[in-house]
């Protein structure tokens, strides 16, 4: 339940929050979805349509960077690990690896607090290590549900932005709260206006 539901709920909530704060990106997603649907009702969105939403995908990735639902993972070293600077993490030690910290490292992500989906354009992604963006962790125990999660995020975004204009509720700004996943204290409040 936790791996499959709380994570996508967090990812989706923060994505809608970021789109609410950036109406021009929200509008670009809306236009992209409408173009892909070519007059069909959004409820008829098909699996194949999801691979034709590049800008929406960039918005989702940037949201998972800025607000990673899983902020850290831990691993017990099964062998000594030599770091580049010569120090060694001994076998048996449990390491906590910060996904949030990696995603906010200014050496990798200039102005890390800024929501900018264009970071994930093909040109801007060139030369970036796959380990710079790890919302689903990495290695043999990474997330088995990541493709499903991305599909779910795309479908819900398509269904939401084509039906509603999303605006922030400026009277109730969220406070980030890290539990097992990244939540908002007292909920994440947005205003939805039917289109």
**Residue positions in the annotated binding site for heme?**
143
CA 3 → CA 9, 76, 126, 148, 181, distances in Å? 10, 20, 30, 12, 10
**Smallest distance from ligand HEM to CB 97, Å:** 8
Nearer to ligand HEM, 11 or 168 (CB): 11
| Cα 193 to Cα 195: distance, rounded to the nearest angstrom | 6
- Return the residue nearest ligand HEM (CB atom): 145
Q: Looking at beta carbons only, is 31 or 142 nearer to ligand HEM?
A: 142
Shortest CB 99 distance to ligand HEM, Å: 7
Q: Is 123 exposed, middle or buried (0-12, 13-18, 19+ CB in 10 A)?
A: exposed
Could you give the CA distance from residue 163 to residue 161 in angstroms, rounded to a whole number? Answer: 5
Q: Which is nearer to ligand HEM, 88 or 144 (CB)?
A: 144
Binding site for ligand HEM (CB under 6 A): 3-4, 7-8, 11, 69-70, 73, 135-137, 141-145, 148-149
Shortest CB 62 distance to ligand HEM, Å: 13
* Residue number with CB closer to ligand HEM (31 or 147): 147
Q: Please calculate the CA angle 116-167-31 and round it to the nearest 5 degrees.
A: 60
CB of 102 to ligand HEM, least distance (A): 11
Q: Which residues are annotated as a binding site?
A: 143
Say if residues 107 and 48 touch (Cβ distance below 8 Å): no
């Amino acid at each position: 339940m936790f791996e499959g539901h709380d994570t996508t709920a967090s990812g989706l909530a923060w994505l809608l929050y970021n789109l609410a704060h950036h109406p021009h990106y929200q509008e670009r997603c809306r236009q992209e979805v409408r173009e892909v649907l070519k007059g069909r009702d959004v409820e008829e969105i098909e699996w194949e349509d999801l691979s034709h939403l590049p800008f929406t995908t960039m918005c989702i990735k940037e949201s998972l960077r800025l607000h990673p639902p899983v902020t850290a993972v831990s691993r017990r070293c099964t062998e000594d690990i030599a770091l580049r600077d010569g120090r060694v993490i001994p076998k048996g030690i449990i390491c906590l690896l910060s996904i949030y910290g990696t995603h906010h490292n200014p050496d990798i992500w200039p102005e890390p607090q800024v929501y900018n989906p264009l970071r994930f354009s093909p040109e801007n992604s060139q030369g970036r290590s796959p380990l710079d963006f790890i919302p689903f962790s990495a290695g043999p125990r990474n997330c088995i549900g990541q493709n499903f999660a991305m599909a779910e995020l795309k479908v819900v975004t398509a269904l939401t932005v084509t039906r509603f204009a999303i605006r922030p509720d400026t009277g109730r700004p969220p406070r980030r709260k890290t539990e097992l996943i990244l939540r908002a204290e007292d909920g994440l409040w947005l205003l939805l206006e039917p289109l």
